[in-house]
């Protein structure tokens, strides 16, 4: 199963605008991608509530995972997004 | 027609149908033996309705930050896991409102545990829960109503969160049952230029849609007025606004004695129209909602934005005014039993001097890059020694004009000694009232003690003004009282040299000063100083000035 572990790159953490951009991108993927931080339970990446509840800050290690057709591409897209500083992206 | 009485909090007249700020819904007792299918359908309908309402609000919000918060709430409402988890709770025997409350309580706990930014967003989750529960129960959406036409907003009291999206074009006036003249509602109303009456308990008995009128100067509210009255009151208000919009120029009395009319602002955004300068630039905005202090560069940029907007003008910057009542995470201030009496304002520098020195360096750098006349002042100074230390620090940073705020009675009583060190004083009458009368600014039940016409407050203002005259140094006022066109005459008569207020309040004060000579102001001040009560002080002012419009017959309660 395709898996990627990355560090959150956004200055404010996976909150506010970075979380909104991430969740919106996850919802566009053809497969269900999960995200987990540390030994906590994986949660759906397209869930705003669950993603916020991770409480991931800048530099927090998170793991993405997906299964099925297009899983690798979906995981890569979202992992690349997480590594960027989304606070610096223009609205 | 029924006449109700409150306290005038923001001058002007307004009339129209009243609509109330709906309170958050109370969670009813759990319904026994629910039909799971029906409850699940209720949850789905509630999500659709709330998401649609929040989306519409986000699309029409004027404030970018408010719009972002609303869009984030839409994403939370539309979260599939919310519906999935609610379905599971319903299968376990819950009805729709309890299912939603339980599911969001789990996320609420996670937000709180994460701390920092997320913990501050708990109120967004609570608001979402209240909206979803209200939708499930068929109750009106909590928060500011949106009848689709101009109206008078009525409420028990207004919190900052309630008023984020308040539109002056739609909200003609505000009437609250609680609050006081220095409460959030009053300050917000003055800032937005919306007439307001606070502390008017009778207003809660008036039904939504009924026509009412309010006078934000006298505090009189009339319920059950005719449609003709509504038209007349609003036409008068419009004519007044247009007349004032044409008034220009620096503040001066009828005989040409200058009283600078300055603006209270929080950022460059608050600068509307022409102003002589800024008498209170609150710098807290830069520090809010963040876990680290703003960097030197970030501060320089924010200050420069304001300084560059007013080339050649005087701008008084107040250094960070934080404390346990306005907590900032990076200061790591301990919880205090009496935050208003604890480590706040300049006192923060006792523990964390770097916050102040970084700020002074940034202000100096921004001042050097523009040609504004930058003055700096510290909040919450109590002694001449504190004033000496602050002014010395300012001079070390190359800031030539350093003063202090007078909010603590101790500093007001020693104004002459404070002025041995400080270049100027700025009296913050809101806090000076709170500390002189030992009455919390937010405590509506003590609103009568916080009346600026109280003799003890006026006596302290008089001693500060006299100390300034003696030292030949400026003494300004930057509390809410400076925005009262009648009280401004008293202040001018006492020897106060500048008045700082919400920019929208300036035209009315300019008009009032222009209608009186300095001698008339002095006679008004003398008469007021001899009065034993706020009521007597108002009457004395009216007696000393025949043209004083609103002083007559305006009891505070």
Q: Answer yes or no: is B338 a known binding residue.
A: no
Identify the pLDDT of residue B165. 63
Does an H or E element contain B337, and which? Answer: none
Residue pair B226/B220 in contact (Cβ under 8 Å)? The answer is no
The residues of A that are catalytic are: 15
Distance CA B312, CA B64 (A): 30
Which residues, 6+ apart, have CB-to-CB distance to A37 below 8 Å? A54, A55, A56, A60, A61, A62, A63
Query: What are the residue ranges spanned by the domains of chain B?
Result: 2-22+143-244, 36-137, 247-544
* Residues in chain A within 8 Å Cβ distance of B121: 15, 52
Between β-strands B498-501 and B475-477, what pairing exists: parallel, antiparallel or unpaired? parallel
Minimum-distance CB partner of A55 among B64, B79, B118:
B118
DSSP symbol at B327? -
- Nearest-CA residue of chain B relative to A46? B79
Q: What backbone torsions phi and psi does residue B370 show, to the nearest 5 degrees?
A: -130, 175
Is 50 exceeded by the pLDDT of residue A91? no
The answer to whether B252 is a known ligand-binding residue is no
pLDDT, residue A34, reads 96
Q: Which of A20, A49, A55 sits opposite B82 (nearest CB)?
A: A49
pLDDT of residue B124: 83
Q: Do B2-22+143-244 and B247-544 come out as alike in CATH topology? A: no
Domains of chain A by start residue, with CATH: 3-83 (3.30.1340.10)
Residue B292 near residue B351 (C-beta atoms within 8 A): no
Cross-chain residue pair A43–B81, CB shorter than 8 Å: yes
Residue A48 to residue B76, Cβ atoms within 8 A: yes
Annotate B110-164 with DSSP letters as a single string. HHHHH-HHHHHTHHHHHHHHHHHHHHHHTPPPSBS---SS-EEEEES---GGGGT
Give the three-state DSSP class for B197: strand
ipTM of the complex in this document? 0.88
| Cα–Cα distance measured from residue B97 to residue B510, given in angstroms and rounded to the nearest whole number | 54
Domain B36-137 - what CATH class?
A: mainly alpha
Residue pair B197/B214 in contact by the 8 Å Cβ criterion: yes
The answer to whether the annotation marks B318 as part of a ligand binding site is yes
Separation CA B329–CA B327 (nearest Å): 6
Our CA-based measurement puts residue A47 at a distance from the nearest CA of chain B, in whole angstroms, of: 5
Fold of B247-544: TIM Barrel (3.20.20)
- Check if A52 contacts B (Cβ < 8 Å): yes
Q: Which residue of A has its CA nearest to B121?
A: A16
> What is the 8-class DSSP label of residue B326?
B
Q: Which CATH architecture has domain B2-22+143-244?
A: 3-Layer(bba) Sandwich (3.50)
Residue in chain B closest to A24 (alpha carbons) equals B75
Which of A20, A52, A62 to mutate against chain B (most B CBs within 10 Å)? A52
Distance from CA of B362 to the nearest CA of A (A): 23
> Which mean pLDDT values do the consecutive 10-residue runs of chain B (557 residues) have?
89 94 87 86 95 86 72 90 94 94 93 78 87 93 82 85 71 90 75 88 94 92 96 92 83 96 90 88 85 90 94 95 75 80 92 94 96 96 98 97 98 98 97 94 81 95 98 94 92 98 89 93 96 91 73 33
């Amino acid at each position: 199963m395709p898996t990627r572990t990355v560090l959150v790159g956004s200055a404010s953490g996976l909150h506010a605008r970075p979380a909104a951009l991430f969740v919106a991108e996850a919802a566009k993927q053809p497969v269900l991608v999960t995200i987990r931080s540390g030994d906590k339970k994986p949660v759906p990446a397209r869930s705003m509530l669950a993603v916020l509840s991770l409480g991931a800050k800048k530099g927090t290690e998170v793991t993405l995972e997906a299964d099925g057709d297009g899983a690798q591409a979906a995981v890569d897209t979202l992992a690349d997004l997480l590594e960027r500083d989304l606070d610096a992206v223009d609205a | 027609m029924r006449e109700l009485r409150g306290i005038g909090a923001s001058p002007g007249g307004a009339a129209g149908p009243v609509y109330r700020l709906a309170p958050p819904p109370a969670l009813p007792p759990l319904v026994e033996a629910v039909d799971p299918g029906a409850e699940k359908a209720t949850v789905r309908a509630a999500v659709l309705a709330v998401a649609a309402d929040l989306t519409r609000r986000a699309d029409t919000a004027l404030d970018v930050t408010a719009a972002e918060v609303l869009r984030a709430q839409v994403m939370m409402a539309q979260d599939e896991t919310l519906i999935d988890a609610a379905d599971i709770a319903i299968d376990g025997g819950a009805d729709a409102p309890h299912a939603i409350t339980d599911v969001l309580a789990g996320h609420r706990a996670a937000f709180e545990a994460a701390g920092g930014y997320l913990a501050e967003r708990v109120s967004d989750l609570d608001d979402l829960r209240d909206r979803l529960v209200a939708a499930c129960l068929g109750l009106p959406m909590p928060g500011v109503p949106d009848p689709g036409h101009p109206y008078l907003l009525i409420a028990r009291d207004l919190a900052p969160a309630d008023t984020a999206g308040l539109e002056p074009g739609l909200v003609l006036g505000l009437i609250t049952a609680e609050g006081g003249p220095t409460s959030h509602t009053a300050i917000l109303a003055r800032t937005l230029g919306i007439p307001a009456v606070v502390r008017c308990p009778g207003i809660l008995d008036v039904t939504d849609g009924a026509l009412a009128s309010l006078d934000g100067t006298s505090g009189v509210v009339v319920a059950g007025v005719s449609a003709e009255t509504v038209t007349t009151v609003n036409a008068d208000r419009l004519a007044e606004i247009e007349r004032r919009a044409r008034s220009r120029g620096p503040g001066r009395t009828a005989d040409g004695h200058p009283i600078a009319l300055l603006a209270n602002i929080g950022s460059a955004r608050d600068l509307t129209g022409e102003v002589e300068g800024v008498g209170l630039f609150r710098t807290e905005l830069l520090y809010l909602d963040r876990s680290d202090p703003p960097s030197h560069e970030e501060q320089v940029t924010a200050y420069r934005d304001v300084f560059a907007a007013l080339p050649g003008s005087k701008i008084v910057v107040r250094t960070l005014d934080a404390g346990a009542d306005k907590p900032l995470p990076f200061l790591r201030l301990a919880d205090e039993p009496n935050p208003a009496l604890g480590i706040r304002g300049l006192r923060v520098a006792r523990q964390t001097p770097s916050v102040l020195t970084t700020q002074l360096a940034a202000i100096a750098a921004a001042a050097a890059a523009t040609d504004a006349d930058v003055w700096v002042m510290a909040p919450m100074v109590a002694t001449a020694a504190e004033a000496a230390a602050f002014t010395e620090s300012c001079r070390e940073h190359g800031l030539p004009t350093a003063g202090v705020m007078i909010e603590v009675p101790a500093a007001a009583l020693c104004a002459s000694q404070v002025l041995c060190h400080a270049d100027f004083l700025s009296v913050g009458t809101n806090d000076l009232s709170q500390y002189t009368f030992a009455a919390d600014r937010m405590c509506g039940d003590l609103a009568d003690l916080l009346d600026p016409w109280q003799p003890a407050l006026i006596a302290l203002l008089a001693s500060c003004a006299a100390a300034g005259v003696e030292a030949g140094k400026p003494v300004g006022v930057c509390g809410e009282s400076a925005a009262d066109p009648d009280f401004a005459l008293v202040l001018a008569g006492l020897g106060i040299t500048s008045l700082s207020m919400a920019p929208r309040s300036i035209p009315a004060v300019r008009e009032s000063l222009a209608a009186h000579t300095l001698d008339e102001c002095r006679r008004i001040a003398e008469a007021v100083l001899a009065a034993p009560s706020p009521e007597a002080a108002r009457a004395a002012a009216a007696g000393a000035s025949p043209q004083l419009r609103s002083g007559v017959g305006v009891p505070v309660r």
